[in-house]
Amino acid sequence: MRRWLMAPRGRAGVVFDYALVVAGSVLVAAGTDLFFVPNKVVSGGVAGIAIIAHYLAGTPVGAVVLVLNLPLLWLGWKYAGGMRFFVRTAVSVVVMSVAIDLLAPILTPPTTDRLLVICYGGLLDGLGMGLVFRGRGSTGGTDVLARLAHRFLGVGIGQALLGMNVVIFMAAGFVFGAEAVMVALALAFVSARVLDLVQEGLSAARSALIISTDPERVKAAVLQRLGRGVTVLAGQGGYTGEARPVLYVVVAAHEAGRLKRLVAEADPEAFVAITPAQEVLGEGFSPHSKKEA
């Protein structure tokens, strides 16, 4: 998924970015009208506040989203990407706000089943926001704060959104009750996972640290039989003080089992630590993006 979301360069890349922003914004709007508003489910962020206001005062959801986003647009322009980010976020906010109010009388809610609302609503919401972020924009609201957390603190965008939305969900509990809040939390989790998949791609990877008394044999097995690169790091035993090389290997998730078997064959006493690699760029994996952060 990540590969086909890589925009081409030049003017075509700009058009591609805006296409992602518009498409993602419409998906978020559709999810809001199909699953959130009719089922009294708060989707989080500014849209969640707008849904609460809709049921308390009868205000249009899209119009409230637009008004609340105006000061946050300035924050995004100032600290989260400059004028380019500001323009693309403004496009997303306007398209999403208008689409919410225009599509509301047209779209028919397909279900009231809570489980389906969580699954389909979370899928549309996460996919839409993921496309907007891939287009180097934002849907505004808490998305701006999540982008800042991702950029400066290294926090996953989905996790940052989930944390901030908890506060809004607690407020929604006083309006819609405890059941609606639990549904909203589950929906936000699904949305966050889909968003991170769109951002980071579907190709999971694993990184392995291997400590062996026969590192050359293990290295040869990985290089020749698995076809993956090996980096040799200088290590030292904490107890013995002896110098001992540490092999660092990154493989696709489906290759982790084969890697363990190869190491066991080369050195049954080897120490192996395998951990998930959230994103891997470079030869043999996803290409580096030429786009600015």
Range 217-226 average pLDDT: 90
Domain contains 288: no
Q: Are residues 192 and 59 in the same domain?
A: yes
Assign residue 40 a region (left: φ > 0; alpha: ψ between -120 and 50; beta: otherwise).
Answer: left
Structure tokens at 249: 């290997």
Domain contains 265: yes
Q: Are residues 44 and 162 in the same domain?
A: yes
Least Cα distance to 267 among 208, 206, 220, 233 occurs for: 220
Q: Are residues 41 and 183 in the same domain?
A: yes
Q: Are residues 56 and 108 in the same domain?
A: yes
Tell me the pLDDT tens digit for each residue of 43-60: 778 888 899 899 989 999
Q: Are residues 161 and 210 in the same domain?
A: no
> What does residue 183 show for φ and ψ, rounded to 5 degrees?
-60, -40
- The structural domain count of the chain equals 2
Of the three residues 200, 232, 265, the one that is the final residue of a domain is: 200
82-103 and 10-31 are packed helices; what angle lies between their axes, rounded to 10 degrees? 40
- Residue 218, pLDDT > 90, answer yes
Domain contains 290: no
- Which domain does 161 fall in, by range? 10-200
Mean pLDDT check: name the lowest of 119-128, 196-205, 273-282: 196-205
- Looking up residue 255, the CATH number of its domain turns out to be 3.30.70.120
Q: Which amino acid is at 249?
A: V
- Residue 293, pLDDT > 50, answer no
In which band, very low, low, confident or very high, does the pLDDT at 249 lie, cut at 50, 70 and 90? very high
Q: Which pLDDT score, from 0 to 100, does residue 5 have?
A: 52
Structure tokens at 164: 């901030």
Domain contains 4: no
